[in-house]
């Protein structure tokens, strides 16, 4: 009887391992296809941009110009929704006299394909190429901004190109580290097919870096942001905000905006 129970538990554990391994795509990416709003709905002029990645995928993006532009934000958004759900952030950057180029990863919004780790890197690479080679933006005027999953994408671009600054908001150290929060009894590091290992990159990125995180973040633990900051090379700064994962930047209000502006004014 004990042997049967043991075998049942082992089989059940293996089934869980298999499900987690197979369903990783749907556990990491939550794309929405429908574009609900545009910058025009909040009174901002914008350009619809269509880009082609190196592997032939068509990517959808918006370019929102600012008057008296101080720099351009290459905006890598989080793992859910699409670019139409980031209008609050676009408004904040626009009010800081920063133009924004925000794009949808493959499989999100109007972008073709399905998301993968390498695919998201290629998507961001095509946006960088567009800013530098088509828009003729000087690299030192580009602000690489990534929130949540996008922080790992922005870090990859910063590793390969010398932008002006890198801003990591609500970032995680790596997918395996993050996965242990939800599956503490599984060998996450052995079964994961995704890495997004920002912790292995931040010490190799020489441009100024701002890390933003809230202790009340219910999705990505505050300790992840602290670990990234501690591992990162100089120059670096840390902005502690308040509120949850998705609304912390809004709840923090003035402190968040002044923190962004102070960092950008200092280094850009």
Q: Is 95 helix (H, G, I), strand (E, B) or coil?
A: helix
> What is the rounded CA–CA span in Å between residue 76 and residue 104?
8
pLDDT tens by residue, 78-115: 999 999 999 999 999 999 999 999 999 999 999 999 99
State the DSSP string of 123-181. Answer: HHHHHHHIIIIIS---GGGEEEEEETHHHHHHHHHHHHS--SEEEEES--S-HHHHHHH
Which domains are assigned to the chain? Answer: 2-267 (3.40.50.1820)
Helices 117-129 and 149-160 pack at an angle, to 10 degrees, of: 60
Query: Where are the strands (E) in the chain, listed by range?
Result: 30-31, 47-52, 58-64, 71-76, 80-81, 98-103, 142-147, 165-169, 209-213, 236-240
> What is the rounded CA–CA span in Å between residue 179 and residue 196?
12
Give backbone dihedrals phi and psi of 64, rounded to 5 degrees, phi first. -115, 105
Q: What is the pLDDT along the chain (268 residues), one digit of tens a residue?
A: 665 655 654 455 555 555 556 666 767 899 999 999 999 999 999 999 999 999 999 999 999 999 999 999 999 999 999 999 999 999 999 999 999 999 999 999 999 999 999 999 999 999 999 999 999 999 999 999 999 999 999 999 999 999 999 999 999 999 988 877 766 665 666 667 789 999 999 999 999 999 999 999 999 999 999 999 999 999 999 999 999 999 999 999 999 999 999 999 999 8
pTM of the model: 0.92
Q: What are the residues whose beta carbons fall under 8 Å from the beta carbon of 147, sequence distance 6 or more?
A: 76, 77, 78, 89, 169, 170
- DSSP class of residue 64 equals E
Whether residue 107 contacts residue 113, with contact meaning beta carbons closer than 8 Å, is answered with yes
pLDDT tens by residue, 16-39: 555 556 666 767 899 999 999 999
Nearest to 205 by CA among 241, 151, 124: 151
For 6-24, give the secondary structure using H, E and C: HHHHHHHHHHHHHHHHHCH
């Amino acid at each position: 009887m004990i042997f049967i129970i043991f075998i049942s538990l082992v089989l059940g554990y293996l089934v869980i391992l298999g499900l987690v391994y197979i369903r990783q795509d749907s556990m990491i990416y939550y794309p929405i296809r429908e574009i609900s709003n545009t910058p025009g709905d909040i009174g901002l002029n914008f350009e619809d941009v269509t880009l082609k990645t190196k592997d032939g995928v068509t990517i959808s993006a918006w370019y929102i110009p600012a008057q008296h532009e101080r720099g351009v934000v290459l905006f890598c958004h989080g793992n859910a929704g699409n670019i139409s759900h980031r209008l609050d952030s676009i408004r904040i950057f626009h009010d800081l006299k920063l133009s924004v180029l925000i794009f949808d990863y493959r499989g999100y919004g109007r972008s073709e394909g399905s998301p993968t780790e390498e695919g998201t890197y290629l998507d961001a690479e095509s946006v960088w190429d567009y800013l530098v080679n088509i828009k003729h933006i000087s690299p030192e005027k580009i602000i690489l901004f990534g929130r949540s999953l996008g922080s790992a994408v922005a870090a990859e671009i910063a590793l390969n190109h010398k932008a002006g600054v890198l801003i990591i908001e609500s970032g995680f150290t790596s997918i395996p580290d993050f996965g242990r929060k939800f599956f503490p009894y599984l060998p996450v590091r052995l079964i994961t097919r995704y890495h997004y290992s920002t912790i292995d990159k931040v010490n190799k990125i020489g441009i100024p870096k701002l890390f933003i995180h809230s202790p009340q973040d219910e999705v990505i633990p505050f300790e992840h942001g602290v670990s990234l900051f501690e591992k990162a090379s100089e120059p670096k700064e840390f902005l502690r905000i308040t509120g949850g994962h998705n609304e912390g930047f809004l709840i923090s209000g003035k402190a968040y905006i002044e923190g962004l502006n102070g960092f950008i004014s200092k280094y850009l």
